[in-house]
Amino acid sequence: MMNTLRAVSVFFALISVAGVASAGGDAKAGGPKSELCQGCHGADGMSVNPECPSLAGQKPGYIYKQLEDFINGKRHNDTMSAMAALAGTPQDMKDIAAYFASQKSMSGDNYMLAPKPDNKKSISNGKKLFMNGNPRTGLYGCVNCHGKNGKGKSATNQVFPVIGGQSKGYLAKQLKDFRAATRTNDPANMMMDIAKKLTDAEIDAITDYLASL
């Protein structure tokens, strides 16, 4: 738990830096520039492919950082690394990030159209983990960084992404990638530390809850 708390402190120290990095994005200019991204992430930032994250209402600084990380090799995905390289200049990337950030926040409405039989129980369990973590294993509650309903801590906090309403499949893969240390671009390895404390059942419950929001 102490390692996680120290990592949180580092994250908050980075918030102002991320805010500066995302400054200057023009959402109107970003609309046409985002057409390259829309095939996977949706014209309004709501992806219909569970392997591709929704970007609607995402923090612009977070989007910008991920694009940089794909380009610089800090985050690895063959498709996204190639696509990010085509995004243009840093200003183009800021504009694209601003466009998706300006869209109505991602929602799990589509996920809830066909809930699985044990959906309500799983969502309930996931909410408890999201809010309180698991004191027995030292799991930190997600709400402390990602905010109420996973919609972010504040408008000025660009470090912690919006995850409420995100695709279950995408969230589950990222948590498992963090746990396996195949995704390593989280500052201070905070998400790696958290994910290593998660069982498959807990990942299933938390992602059910988040995808329903």
**Considering the chain, what percentage of its residues have pLDDT values greater than 70?**
85
Task: For residues 90 and 170, give the distance between their C-alpha atoms in angstroms, rounded to a whole number.
Answer: 26
**Residue 86: CB atoms within 10 Å:** 10
For 64, left (φ over 0), alpha (ψ -120 to 50), or beta?
Answer: alpha
- The reported pTM is 0.87
Question: Region 108-112: what's the mean pLDDT?
Answer: 64
Q: Which residues contact 84 (CB under 8 A, 6 or more apart)?
A: 67, 70, 71
Structural domain boundaries enclosing 145 = 2-7+107-211
Task: For residues 144 and 164, give the distance between their C-alpha atoms in angstroms, rounded to a whole number.
Answer: 14
Q: Is residue 15 part of a domain?
A: no
Same domain, 184 and 151: yes
Q: Is residue 12 part of a domain?
A: no
Question: For the chain, what is the domain count?
Answer: 2
- For residue 138, the surrounding DSSP H or E stretch is none
Query: Each residue of 144-170: pLDDT tens digit?
Result: 999 999 999 888 889 999 999 999 999
Same domain, 122 and 88: no
- For residue 28, the surrounding DSSP H or E stretch is helix 27-33
Query: Each residue of 4-59: pLDDT tens digit?
Result: 545 455 545 454 444 444 567 999 999 999 999 999 999 999 998 888 999 999 99
What number of H helices and E strands is found in the chain?
12, 0
